[in-house]
Structure 1
Amino acid sequence: MRAGAAFAAALLGGLVLTALFSSIPLSGGQALTMFGVVDRVDYATAAWQALALTATGPVTLWGLITIALLVTRNGWSARSASRYGDPVCFYAMTHYKLHYACVSCRVSFKRHADLQREHLCPNCSQPLLCAGHDFAPPPRRDVRSWSVVAAVLGEGLRYEGLSVCGCGKEPKYRPRTRAELRIRRAVAARDGLSLSEALSRPDPLTSPAD
C-alpha cells in the first residue's frame, strides 16, 4: 500500500472513531454525541468505567493525532492539487536540492543551490557542475556515458523534467549515447547551430518549433 493511501486510511479511521467515542457532557445527565443528545449511562462499577476509558482514550487520541498530521504534513495541499490536475509551482514552494556532478571523477552529489559560493568536489577539489533536478548519473565505470554527460554539462545544459517553476512536466531532451552526441555535433557544424541547441533536439534534423 502506498504511503498516501495508508495515511488516508489512518485519517479516515481516526475521524470515525473519534466521532464515535467522543461526547460532550451536558446538564441534566445528558451528553452530546454524533447521534445527537442522549442520556448518559452510568457504569455499574468504577472498574467498568476505568476499562471503558482505557479502551476509548487511545482511540480518541489516535484520531486527534491523524488530524494534526494532516494539518502539518509538508506539501499536502500541493500534492493533492497536483493529483487532481491543478498546476502547482513545486519549485516556488519548496527549495529542492540540485544534482552537482564532477565529470572528471564521475561522481555526483545533491546540494542546495548557493549563489554565494561554489560547490567543490570532495575528491579533486574542482568546482562541481550543476546538473539540474532530474539528473540520473551513469555508473562510475561507464566512461562513455560520462563523456556524454560532460559534453551536455559543458554547454551549460541541465537535466530537467519539469518546467522552470515546477508546475508542469516539460522533460528536456539530452543525448545519452556517444552516437547521439556525434550526430548532433555534425548537425551543429553543418547547419551553423550552437552545440547547446543541437544537444537539446530530440530529432537533430528538426527544430523544436517545427
Structure 2
Amino acid sequence: MDVTLHIAQDPDADELLGRSPLAALIGMLLDQQVPMEWAFKGPRTIAERLGTDEPDAHEIAVYDPEKFAALLSAKPAVHRYPGSMAKRIQQLCQYLVEHYDGDAAGVWEGVGTGAELLRRLKDLPGFGAQKAQIFLALLGKQFGVRPKGWREAAGPYGEPKSFRSVADITGPESLAKVRAHKQEMKAAKASGK
C-alpha cells in the first residue's frame, strides 16, 4: 500500500493513511461524530504521541488502557470521545493481532470476492455494515483492492463518482461534494423523507 490520499487534508496525515493499512483502518474507525478530516488525522497524531512513524497493532493491543486513553485525550484530543475511541482502537488492534498477526492488510489481501471482503470488514470491532461498505469502497476506489464484485458489495458507496463518502475524496473539490451530500442526507432524515 502506497497511494496518495487527500482525506485528512493534511499532507503528513494523508501520507501515513496511504502507506499504513492500520492507519487507514483507525481513521475509518474514528470517522463518526467528528469531521472527516479530524478523524483521519487521528492515526498520525496517535503515531506521533507513541513516538513512532506509524501505529503498530501489537503495540496498541497491549498498551495500558488508561495510558492509551490519556494519550488520545491530550490536547488536541484525537476525537470528541477520546476515552471510548481509545477502547475501540485497542479492541480493533487486539482483533487484528489475534486474527491477522497484527497485519491490517491481511483483512483484504488474497480475498477472492467483494462479499468475502465485506464480511471480513464487518467482523472488525467497531465496523458496522455501513462503515464496512464505505471502507470497502475506499479500498476499491483509491487503493486498487478490487476483488470480484467489490462495487456491488460496497453498495451505493461503490458507485463511480458518487461523492457519498471518504471513498470519493481526492481533494478539496470532492470533499465539498461529499460534505454537500452528507448535508442533503441529514436534511432529508430530519424532514422525515
Give the TM-score band, short-chain normalised: under 0.3
TM-score by length of 2: 0.22
**Larger Rg: 1 or 2?**
1
Question: Highest relative contact order (Cα 8 Å, sep 6+), 1 or 2?
Answer: 2
Higher helix share: 2
